[in-house]
């Protein structure tokens, strides 16, 4: 590929973080609006039951193919990749039929007043998933050829249309909230799909003209879309459909199919691990829809960092490592410059995400009550359970941060045989997690979900550490050094933990604002100390930023 992979990965992560901040801010206020407008039980049906249906269909039909096709796209046959990705459409259609039946007729029923809306919601989720799968070829190409801004713009458009459609309908039809949610889902999915199709239908003919040196008709900013894209393999937007591109090889790549099957086994297990508590809540009668919605509110607040910081970093890191390190090839036989760069990037990533996780852990203990109070008012914090849940989430965030990057590196570099062996280990992790979730929920209530997740994350982190240690054994590269924080940073964290807890005990009941300002002061001190401890990393970042600015000026 003509574009810089590391630069694109960093840029993709940066834009994704901004996008996720905007998206989560919208969701944050939208959920508060729903609670005050239609109540907790409706929020439980939408955010737990229906969104679980969507995530199950999309993850199982998209994740294996997307991960396999992203592996070293520079040397792949694009005709075969396009053909492979289209398999996700019939898979998603089949999963939609099966899972919609399960959600409608096998799982515990909703209240009679919501039956019609719930039925519409299930069907809309199924249809929107199939529509989204028809867009995956464009998304894959956009990521592989570094169309970072395009992805962010269209995904932002998708969220805004879904939000505004939902809010508009719920204002005028407040008693049909689930139906409004269903309609908004369909409208936004179709909009996203059409937007990708229209962009590439416009882009490819223009690129063909540009590559023929007939570029005088383009403005400077339009030309930037075509720079370094001479290796773009698509000559028509019809090439995005199966069987259309010229292909002297087989319709599908056998090795790619084998890799897809390996990822498919993983995806089933990973979905259980990711959404395990929702499956337990949905299948078992442990919690009512109202209780589920309360857990979901706290879970969303506690997972803000994981969703809008850690996940974009994990996705971009996975893409970066797949391009820099080849599967099934010993490190000594690969490009040593790429190996050293990737080890340094892994070390710095682990350092950064661990630091963020520790900051969230420290301040989460003293500001969980404050956050919930500001979000849901006194009614939400009258019960100690939401506050306890959010504090436990702070511990889970640290483990989630480390696991995201370390496991992303493992998945990006494992051989096919190692992936197959790891699938059996993931089965053990899944059984452990589900068993612990059920048992600990009976013993401790919703807190049991978080404890079970922490145990599961810790087990997976230990496996990733073992894999990375063996991978770099015999070399001078030590990427796991990023998991050891500097002592000055640890000292300021301990001081912040002590003084912010004192503030919660003695200042909060007098003035919420003073408690927040006091914590803000220690937060700034913490960031300053971290910056001093990691001035080399900040200097590298500043240097890269200045280089990019000078290139733009030229």
Q: Is the pLDDT of residue 119 over 90?
A: yes
Could you give the CA distance from residue 296 to residue 285 in angstroms, rounded to a whole number?
16
Residue 368 has what DSSP assignment? H
Could you give the CA distance from residue 117 to residue 242 in angstroms, rounded to a whole number?
36
Buried b (16+ CB within 10 A) or exposed e, 55-84: bbbbbbbbbbbbbbbbbebeebbbbbbbbb
Q: What pLDDT is recorded for position 217?
A: 60
> Is residue 187 very low, low, confident or very high in pLDDT (cuts 50, 70, 90)?
very high
Determine the average pLDDT of the residues in 240-259: 77
Q: Is the pLDDT of residue 356 over 50?
A: yes
Residue for token pair 């009512």: 288
Q: Is the pLDDT of residue 310 over 90?
A: no
Q: Please state the domain extents for the chain.
A: 40-252, 287-484, 486-554
Burial class (CB in 10 A: 0-12, 13-18, 19+), 220: exposed
pLDDT tens digits for range 227-237: 666 677 788 88
Q: Cβ contacts of residue 106 below 8 Å, gap of 6+?
A: none
Could you give the CA distance from residue 84 to residue 260 in angstroms, rounded to a whole number?
9
Which of 25-34, 195-204, 206-215, 308-317 has the largest mean confidence?
195-204
Determine the average pLDDT of the residues in 363-392: 81
Q: Is the pLDDT of residue 183 over 90?
A: yes
Residue for token pair 């249906």: 53
Q: Is the pLDDT of residue 281 over 60?
A: yes
Residue 414 has what DSSP assignment? -
**Weakest-pLDDT range from 99-113, 220-234, 450-464:** 220-234
Could you give the CA distance from residue 500 to residue 303 in angstroms, rounded to a whole number?
21
Q: Is the pLDDT of residue 210 over 90?
A: no
Q: What pLDDT is recorded for position 535?
A: 78
Query: pLDDT over 70 for what percent of the chain?
Result: 82
Q: What pLDDT is recorded for position 515?
A: 92
Residues for the chain: how many in total?
554
Q: What pLDDT is recorded for position 280?
A: 79
Q: Is the pLDDT of residue 124 over 90?
A: yes
Residue 108 has what DSSP assignment? P
**Other CB atoms within 10 Å distance of the CB of residue 445:** 16
| Coil, helix or strand at residue 141 | helix
Q: Is the pLDDT of residue 333 over 90?
A: no
Q: Is the pLDDT of residue 186 over 90?
A: yes
Q: What pLDDT is recorded for position 74?
A: 57
Q: Is the pLDDT of residue 553 over 70?
A: no
Q: What pLDDT is recorded for position 261?
A: 82
Could you give the CA distance from residue 544 to residue 252 in angstroms, rounded to a whole number?
40
Q: Is the pLDDT of residue 144 over 80?
A: no
| H/E stretch holding 127 | helix 115-133
pLDDT tens digits for range 61-107: 888 887 777 765 555 678 888 888 888 899 999 999 999 999 999 88
Q: What pLDDT is recorded for position 73?
A: 54
Q: Is the pLDDT of residue 418 over 60?
A: yes
**Weakest-pLDDT range from 184-193, 234-243, 280-289:** 280-289
Please say whether the beta carbons of 391 and 363 come within 8 A.
no
- pTM of whole model > 0.85? no
How many Cα atoms sit within 13 Å of 26 on the Cβ side? Answer: 16
Q: Is the pLDDT of residue 9 over 70?
A: no
Determine the average pLDDT of the residues in 343-354: 87
Could you give the CA distance from residue 379 to residue 383 in angstroms, rounded to a whole number?
8
Q: Which of 404, 306, 374, 274 is nearest to 21 (CA)?
A: 306
Residue for token pair 């013993």: 443
Buried b (16+ CB within 10 A) or exposed e, 124-133: bbbbbbbbbb
Q: Is the pLDDT of residue 455 over 80?
A: yes
Which of 47-51, 67-71, 303-307, 502-506 has the largest mean confidence?
502-506
Burial class (CB in 10 A: 0-12, 13-18, 19+), 299: buried
Q: Is the pLDDT of residue 224 over 80?
A: no
Q: Which of 149, 138, 146 is nearest to 15 (CA)?
A: 149
Could you give the CA distance from residue 308 to residue 397 in angstroms, rounded to a whole number?
12
> Is residue 3 very low, low, confident or very high in pLDDT (cuts 50, 70, 90)?
very low
Q: Is the pLDDT of residue 12 over 60?
A: no
Q: Would you give the end-to-end CA distance of the chain in angstroms?
A: 23
Q: Cβ contacts of residue 154 below 8 Å, gap of 6+?
A: 192, 195, 196, 199
What region does 415 belong to: left with phi over 0, alpha with psi -120 to 50, or beta? Answer: beta
pLDDT, the chain, mean? 80
**Weakest-pLDDT range from 177-181, 213-217, 550-554:** 550-554
Q: Which of 356, 315, 354, 305 is nearest to 479 (CA)?
A: 354
C-alpha gyration radius of the chain: 24
């Amino acid at each position: 590929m003509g574009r810089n992979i590391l630069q694109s990965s960093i840029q993709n992560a940066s834009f994704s973080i901004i996008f996720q901040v905007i998206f989560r801010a919208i969701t944050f206020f939208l959920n508060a609006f729903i609670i005050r407008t239609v109540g907790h039980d409706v929020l439980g049906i939408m955010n737990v039951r229906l969104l679980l249906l969507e995530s199950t269909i999309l993850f199982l039909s998209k994740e294996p193919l997307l991960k396999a096709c992203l592996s070293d796209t520079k040397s792949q046959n694009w005709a075969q990749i396009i053909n492979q990705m289209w398999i996700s459409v019939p898979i998603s259609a089949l999963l939609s039929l099966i899972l919609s039946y399960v959600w409608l007729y096998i799982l515990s029923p909703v209240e009679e007043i919501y039956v019609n809306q719930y039925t519409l919601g299930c069907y809309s989720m199924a249809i929107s998933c199939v529509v989204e799968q028809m867009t995956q070829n464009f998304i894959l190409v956009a990521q592989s050829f570094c169309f970072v801004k395009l992805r962010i713009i269209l995904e932002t458009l998708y969220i805004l249309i879904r939000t505004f459609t939902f809010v508009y309908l719920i204002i005028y039809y407040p008693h049909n909230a689930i139906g409004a949610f269903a309609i908004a889902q369909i409208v936004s999915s179709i909009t996203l799909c059409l937007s990708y199709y229209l962009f590439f239908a416009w882009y490819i003919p223009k690129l063909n003209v540009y590559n023929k040196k007939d570029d005088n008709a383009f403005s400077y900013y339009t030309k930037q879309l075509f720079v370094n894209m001479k290796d773009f393999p698509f000559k028509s937007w019809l090439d995005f459909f199966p069987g259309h591109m010229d292909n002297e090889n087989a319709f599908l790549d056998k090795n790619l199919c084998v890799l897809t099957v390996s990822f498919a086994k993983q995806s089933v297990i990973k979905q259980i691990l990711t959404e395990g508590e929702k499956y337990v809540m949905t299948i078992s009668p442990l919690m009512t829809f109202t209780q589920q919605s309360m857990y979901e509110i706290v879970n969303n607040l506690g997972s803000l960092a994981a969703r809008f910081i850690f996940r974009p970093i994990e996705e971009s890191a996975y893409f970066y490592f797949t391009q820099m390190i080849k599967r099934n090839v010993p490190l000594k036989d690969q490009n040593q410059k790429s190996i050293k760069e990737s080890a340094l990037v892994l070390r710095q990533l682990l350092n950064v995400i661990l630091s963020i996780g520790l900051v969230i852990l420290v301040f989460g203990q003293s500001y969980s009550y404050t956050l919930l109070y500001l979000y849901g008012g006194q009614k939400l914090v009258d019960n100690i359970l939401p506050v306890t849940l959010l504090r436990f989430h702070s511990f889970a965030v640290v483990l989630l941060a480390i696991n995201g990057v370390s496991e992303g590196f493992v998945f990006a570099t494992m051989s096919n045989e190692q992936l197959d062996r790891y699938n059996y280990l993931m089965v053990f992790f899944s059984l452990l997690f589900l068993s612990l979730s059920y048992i600990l929920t009976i013993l401790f209530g919703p807190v049991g979900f978080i404890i079970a997740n922490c145990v599961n994350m810790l087990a997976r982190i230990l496996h990733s550490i073992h894999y990375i240690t063996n991978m770099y054994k015999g070399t001078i590269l030590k990427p796991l050094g990023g998991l050891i924080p500097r002592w000055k940073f640890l000292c300021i964290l301990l001081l912040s933990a002590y003084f912010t807890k004192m503030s919660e005990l003695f200042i909060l009941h007098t003035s919420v604002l003073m408690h927040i300002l006091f914590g803000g002061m220690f937060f700034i001190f913490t960031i300053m100390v971290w910056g001093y401890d990691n001035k080399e990393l900040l200097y590298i970042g500043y240097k890269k930023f200045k280089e990019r600015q000078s290139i733009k000026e030229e």
